[in-house]
């Protein structure tokens, strides 16, 4: 703890010496714009303290390098950060910010400017907790299922009806049967006729 406090003390002392040396180097600038600068703590961006610094008398932008110390303290005084220097914010003439980042939480931020003129500002700054962005979903590989082959239906082979062939022997047998039946019928008719003639002859005799 003593080593940490000693390191912070040395850092602050070095910054104050730098501010004092720069203040002695350019008295003409202070005489042109006045002897104070207006410091406004505008808030924070991604944890970096943001400020606007202009000349108090005429509102002109400060063209020189600003030597300032930024300190941040938690509301209960249990945590403190700094001193940090200010660097010019990119793309602006009056914006100044810190390269260091505040941890998420509520902080009382104090800015003290020593060069090119004196300036002071305080403000409570809220640093929100930023949830890490969820990982990008991985593309699911699309696999094309192989198409099942179309079922091939084979029509059952229809066998052509065999041509009816009549055996000559069968034809002769049929004819023989036909002739025998005709002969029998003739014999029966002849017998019947003979019987009738015989009965007539007997009837005449009586």
* pLDDT tens track, the chain, 206 positions: 555 555 565 665 555 555 555 555 545 555 577 889 999 999 999 999 999 999 999 999 999 999 999 999 999 999 999 999 999 999 999 999 999 999 999 999 999 999 999 999 999 999 999 776 666 677 666 666 556 555 565 555 555 555 555 555 555 555 544 545 555 555 556 655 656 666 666 666 65
**Residue 66 domain-assigned (yes or no):** yes
Residues 101 and 176 in one domain: no
Q: Which two tokens stand for residue 163?
A: 């041509």
**Residue 121 domain-assigned (yes or no):** yes
**Which among 66, 101, 127 is the end of a domain?**
127
Contact residues for 36 (Cβ-Cβ < 8 A; gap 6+): 56, 57, 117, 118, 119
Q: Which domain holds residue 90?
A: 2-127
Of the candidates 74, 87, 96, 70, which has an alpha carbon nearest to the alpha carbon of residue 12?
70
Mark residue 43 as left, alpha or beta (left: phi above 0; alpha: psi -120 to 50; beta: remaining).
Answer: left
**Residue 137 domain-assigned (yes or no):** no
Distance CA 136, CA 177 (A): 101
Residues 106 and 46 in one domain: yes
pTM of the complete model: 0.53
């Amino acid at each position: 703890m003593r080593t940490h406090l000693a390191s912070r003390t040395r850092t602050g002392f070095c910054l104050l010496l730098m501010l004092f040396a720069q203040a002695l180097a350019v008295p003409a600038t202070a005489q042109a714009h006045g002897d104070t600068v207006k410091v406004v703590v505008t808030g924070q961006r991604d944890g970096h303290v943001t400020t606007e610094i202009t000349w108090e008398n005429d509102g002109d932008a400060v063209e020189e390098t600003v030597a300032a110390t930024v300190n941040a303290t938690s509301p209960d005084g249990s945590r403190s950060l700094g001193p940090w220097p200010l660097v010019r914010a990119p793309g602006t003439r009056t914006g100044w910010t810190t390269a260091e980042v505040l941890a998420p939480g509520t902080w009382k931020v104090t800015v003290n400017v020593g060069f090119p003129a004196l300036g002071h500002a305080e403000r409570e700054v809220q640093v929100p907790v930023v949830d890490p962005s969820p990982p990008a979903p991985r593309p699911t590989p699309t696999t094309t299922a192989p198409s099942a082959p179309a079922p091939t239906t084979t029509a059952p082979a229809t066998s052509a009806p065999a041509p009816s062939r009549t055996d000559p022997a069968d034809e002769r047998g049929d004819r023989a049967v036909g002739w025998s039946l005709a002969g029998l019928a003739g014999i029966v008719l002849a017998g019947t006729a003979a019987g009738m003639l015989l009965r007539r002859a007997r009837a005449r005799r009586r």
